[in-house]
Amino acid sequence: MSFNNLDQLYRQVIMDHYKNPRNKGSIDDGSVTVDMNNPTCGDRIHLTMKVEDGIVTDAKFDGEGCSISMSSASMMTQAIKGKNIDHAIKLSQIFSEMMLGNDYPDDLDLGDIEALQGVAKFPARIKCATLSWKAMEKGLEGEK
């Protein structure tokens, strides 16, 4: 199959997050709730985060969307749990740079997120990947 460059997009770890999303659901007493959608394609995310003393102690997401948007949301919640607000927002900025195909600082541990690098080569899909991150940033900006 001549789908080699597709394999850069649909990496195994992405598919794993899509099939087995981490932190799926909603926190009942979540202190921060953000609903966001991508009006051009219908993807939507419902993000709840618990923030205590400036630390994101829990994060869950619910929503509908493609493999890229849902796996990205799963990875995002995993990455920000236990981090302080500035750290989480910095991760989001790094993620944006990654999506633009730019160099990004390598002082933070990105874990699974690095698997999404291939999305940069598929411009039509960048918005799918960034949806949950935008939601997270919006929610945490209000908590600063």
Partner 1 sequence: MNAKELKKYFPILDQEVNGHPLVYLDSAATSQKPVQVIEAITDYYRQSNSNVHRGVHTLGNRATDLYEGARDKVRKFINAASTKEIVFLRGTTTALNLVAQSYGRANVKEGDEIVITLMEHHSNIIPWQQLAKQTGATLKYIPLQDDGTLSLEDVRKTVTPNTKIVSVMMVSNVLGTINPIAEITKIAHENGAVMVVDAAQAAPHMKVDVQQLDCDFLAFSGHKMCGPTGIGVLYGKEHLLDNMEPIEFGGEMIDFVGLYESTWKELPWKFEGGTPIIAGAIGLGAAIDFLSEIGMDAIEQHEHKLASYAMDIVTEIPGISVFGPKRGKDRASVVTFNLDDVHPHDVATVLDADGIAVRAGHHCAQTLMKWCKVSATARASFYLYNTEEDIDRFAASLLKTKEYFSDVF
Return residues touching partner 1 (CB under 8 A).
1-3, 5-6, 9-10, 12, 15, 19, 40-44, 64-68, 122, 124-125, 128
Smallest distance, partner 1 to C-beta of residue 109, A: 26
CA distance 25 to 19: 15
Q: Which is nearer to partner 1, 63 or 139 (CB)?
A: 63
Nearer to partner 1, 5 or 26 (CB): 5
How far does Cα 46 stand from its chain's mean position?
A: 12
Q: What are phi and psi of 74, to 5 degrees?
A: -60, -45
Q: Could you identify the residue written with the tokens 């890229």? A: 68
Q: How far is the CB of 15 from partner 1 (least distance, A)?
A: 5
Q: Which residue, 41 or 108, has its beta carbon nearer to partner 1?
A: 41
**Smallest gap from residue 23 Cβ to partner 1 (A):** 20
Residue 38 CA to residue 21 CA, distance in Å, equals 20
29 DSSP 8-state letter: T
Q: Which is nearer to partner 1, 19 or 82 (CB)?
A: 19
Strands (E), 5-96: 32-38, 43-52, 55-64
